[in-house]
Amino acid sequence: MLVLILGIVVFLGIHSVRIAAPQWRLDKIAAWGEGKWKGFYSAISFVGLVLIIWGYVLARPYSLFIYEPPVWMKHITLLLMLFSFISVMISNFRPGKLKPILKHPMLIAVKIWALAHLLANGDLASLILFLSFLVWAVVDRIAIKRQQRAGFAQPVIVPGPVSNDIMAIVAGVVLYILFVWKLHAWLIGVSPL
C-alpha cells in the first residue's frame, strides 16, 4: 500500500503545482523554458504513474474489502469508461465543437474514470486510488475557476471543424475497445469484463 500511496503523492503532487503554486510554475517555465519544464513535469509524472500501477498491483490482492458492488455496477462502469476515453481523446485532439463546450475534457475524463471505478471496486486500495483522483480533479477544477477570477488567463479554445470531434470520438472508441479487450488486463492485471 505504501508504494501506491507514494505513487499517488508523486503523480498528483506534480499535477497540483498549478493549483498550489501557479506563479511559481510560471516562474519556472520562464526560467527553464517550456520544453525543459515539460520534460521535468513528464518525468515526475511517469515515475508517479509507474509507482501507482506497481503499488496497485501489489496492494489489491491483500486489500480489505469495504463493500462489494453489485454486478450491474460493473456494466455502468463499462459504459462510463467509454465516455471517459472519448473525453481524453477530445482533450488530446485539435478542437472541434466539443472541446470548447467541455472546457476541461481531461478533468472530466479523470472524474468519470475515478467515479466509474469506485462503482466497480470496493477494496481499500481502489478506494484510496480512485477517491484521490476524484478529489484532485474536483479541487483542480475549482482552482482553475478561482485563478480565472484572479486574472490568471486560461487560453481561449477556438472551436474547430466537427471533423476533429469525429476523429476524437473514433479514437476514443478504438482505445476503449483495446482496453476492454486486452490492455486493461495487460497493464493492470485485471480484466474489466
Residue 153 confidence class, pLDDT cut points 50, 70, 90: low
pTM of the model: 0.86
Q: What is the pLDDT of residues 41-56, one digit of tens each?
A: 999 999 999 999 999 9
Long-range CB contacts for residues 102-110, cutoff 8 Å, separation at least 24: 103/157, 104/141, 104/144, 107/137, 107/140, 107/141, 109/84, 109/85, 110/134, 110/136, 110/137
Burial class (CB in 10 A: 0-12, 13-18, 19+), 155: exposed
